[in-house]
């Protein structure tokens, strides 16, 4: 068990990393803006090209990255805590696939391209997918993952079918089907950001009962935790977080898996610390990946999901080799 001091200094370090990542995401791109110019864009706005790029294009994208990263990481942390399954992740359990497919279906049936409608569709789809995977998977961790992979495959296949059948409707979707932050900056951000903020706040309220449940459902029950209710609420919260992130950025795998794995040793036994680290490090992962994506292919950008796979893959391998895959 690590001492609180180490956890605290670790969190400060993570915050510093987040600050650096945020600055980089404002400064780096096709048009590189020097850092002092970035600062001036906020303190001394002069409507130069640099200032416009920073404030109107990159700032919204940065907020998007922060929101998506935090939502995915916290969602992953919640599902890993809940299922005691280190492999659990919204993407692997089919939640992301449910959200994507529901958006696709809503677009096909009702041309639902309003943001609120898409958010609702994503949430409904994600919840339905979670319910199905849970009903099928039961209590066995392995079967849960198997059910998630199977459901993702089914929905992916059906989705591809719908897209091939209605090519006109889905000109945009083709872009969206690989997770990315590009081109999302034109849409209003208030609603999705609000949903994610509410979700994160709700996750915070779940910390005490989840902490109690770390010791096992029986112990938690005898200590006065309402186990079943906590379980249901946690499921809803994590699903909505994953759905909101998917609705804005498209399916981005891995963030919900990597971040909790990375900090698991440091935060062992404390859900609160785990969530705190996830809120900070999830955005770091997304922002860094987004910056790398811009650098890799300056002309046409590489979708951020491609980069998270490359950033996340080795990290995951390292963690698994170092700590093993099974102990939750």
Partner 1 sequence: MRSVLGQPGGPRLVVGCVGIVVTGLLVAFVTLMHGATWSTPGETLAGLLGHGEQTFVITRWRAPQVSAALVFGAALGLSGAVFQNLTRNPLGSPDIIGLEASAFTGALVVTACLSGTAAQVATGSVVAGLAAAVVVYALARKGGFSGMRLVVIGIAVNAMVTATNQWLVIRADLEVAMATTAWSAGSLNGTDWHDVRLPFALIAALAVGLALSARTMHQAALGDDLATTSGVRLGPHRLALVVLGVGCTATVTAVAGPISFVALAAPQIGRRITGSAGVPLLPAALTGALLLAASDLLAQTLTRPVPLPVGMITTAVGGAYLIWLLVMEVRKR
Q: Where along the sequence are the contacts to partner 1 (CB under 8 A)?
A: 86-87, 92, 132, 135-138, 142-143, 145-147, 149-154, 156-158, 160-161, 164-165, 178, 253-254, 297, 300, 302-303, 305-307, 309-310, 312-314, 316-317, 320-321, 324-326
Q: Least CB distance from residue 326 to partner 1, whole Å? A: 5
Which C-beta is closer to partner 1: that of 54 or that of 92? 92
Which C-beta is closer to partner 1: that of 276 or that of 311? 311
Q: Least CB distance from residue 162 to partner 1, whole Å? A: 11
List all residues 6 or more positions away from 268 whose beta carbon is below 8 Å from its beta carbon: 1, 2
Q: Let me know the angle formed at the C-alpha of 27 by 43 and 248, rounded to the nearest 5 degrees.
A: 100
Distance CA 84, CA 173 (A): 35
Which C-beta is closer to partner 1: that of 22 or that of 145? 145
Q: Least CB distance from residue 131 to partner 1, whole Å? A: 13
Distance CA 198, CA 189 (A): 14
Which C-beta is closer to partner 1: that of 52 or that of 136? 136
- Report the run of H or E that residue 218 belongs to, with start and end: helix 217-222
CA neighbor of 288 nearest in space, from 181, 174, 195 = 181
Instruction: Report DSSP letters for 260-302, one per residue.
Output: HHHHTTTTTT-HHHHHHHHHHHHHHHHHHHHHHHHHH-SSSPP
Which C-beta is closer to partner 1: that of 239 or that of 308? 308
Residue 63 near residue 283 (C-beta atoms within 8 A): no
- SS3 label, residue 40: helix
Identify the sign of the CA torsion 133, 137, 140, 146. negative
Give the burial string for 97-129 (b: 16+ CB within 10 Å, else e). Answer: bbbbbbbbbbbbeeebeebebbbbbbbbbbbbb
Cα torsion 187, 191, 194, 198 to 10°: value is -130
Q: Least CB distance from residue 156 to partner 1, whole Å? A: 6
Q: Least CB distance from residue 138 to partner 1, whole Å? A: 5
Q: Least CB distance from residue 282 to partner 1, whole Å? A: 17
Q: Least CB distance from residue 325 to partner 1, whole Å? A: 4
Which C-beta is closer to partner 1: that of 35 or that of 153? 153
Which C-beta is closer to partner 1: that of 11 or that of 88? 88
Which C-beta is closer to partner 1: that of 112 or that of 178? 178
Q: Least CB distance from residue 90 to partner 1, whole Å? A: 14
């Amino acid at each position: 068990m690590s001492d609180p001091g180490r956890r605290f200094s670790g969190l400060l370090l993570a915050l510093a990393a987040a600050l650096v990542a945020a600055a980089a995401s404002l400064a780096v791109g096709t048009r590189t803006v020097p850092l002092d110019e970035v600062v001036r864009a906020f303190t001394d706005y002069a409507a130069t090209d640099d200032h416009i790029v920073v404030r109107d294009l990159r700032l919204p994208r940065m907020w998007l990255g922060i929101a998506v990263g935090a939502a995915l990481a916290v969602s992953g942390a919640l599902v890993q805590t809940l299922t005691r399954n280190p492999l659990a992740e919204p993407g692997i359990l089919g939640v992301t696939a449910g959200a994507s497919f529901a958006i696709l279906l809503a677009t096909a049936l009702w041309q639902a391209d309003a943001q609120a409608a898409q958010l609702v569709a994503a949430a409904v789809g994600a919840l339905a997918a979670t319910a199905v995977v849970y009903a099928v998977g039961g209590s066995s961790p392995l079967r849960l993952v198997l059910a998630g992979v199977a459901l993702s495959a089914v929905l992916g296949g059906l989705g591809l079918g719908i897209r091939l059948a209605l090519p006109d409707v889905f000109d945009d979707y083709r872009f969206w089907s690989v997770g990315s932050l590009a081109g999302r900056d034109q849409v209003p951000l208030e609603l999705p950001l609000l949903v994610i903020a509410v979700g994160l706040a709700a996750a915070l309220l779940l910390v005490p009962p989840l902490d109690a449940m770390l010791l096992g459902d029986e112990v938690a029950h005898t200590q006065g935790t309402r186990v079943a209710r906590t379980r249901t609420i946690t499921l809803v919260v994590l699903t909505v977080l994953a759905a909101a992130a998917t609705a804005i950025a498209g399916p981005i795998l891995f963030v919900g898996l990597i971040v909790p794995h990375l900090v698991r040793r440091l935060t062992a036994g404390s859900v609160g610390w785990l969530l705190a680290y996830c809120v900070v490090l999830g955005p770091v992962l997304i922002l860094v990946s987004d910056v790398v994506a811009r650098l890799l292919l300056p002309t046409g950008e590489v979708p951020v999901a491609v980069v998270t796979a490359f950033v996340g893959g080795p990290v995951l391998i390292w963690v698994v080799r170092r700590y093993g895959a099974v102990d939750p």
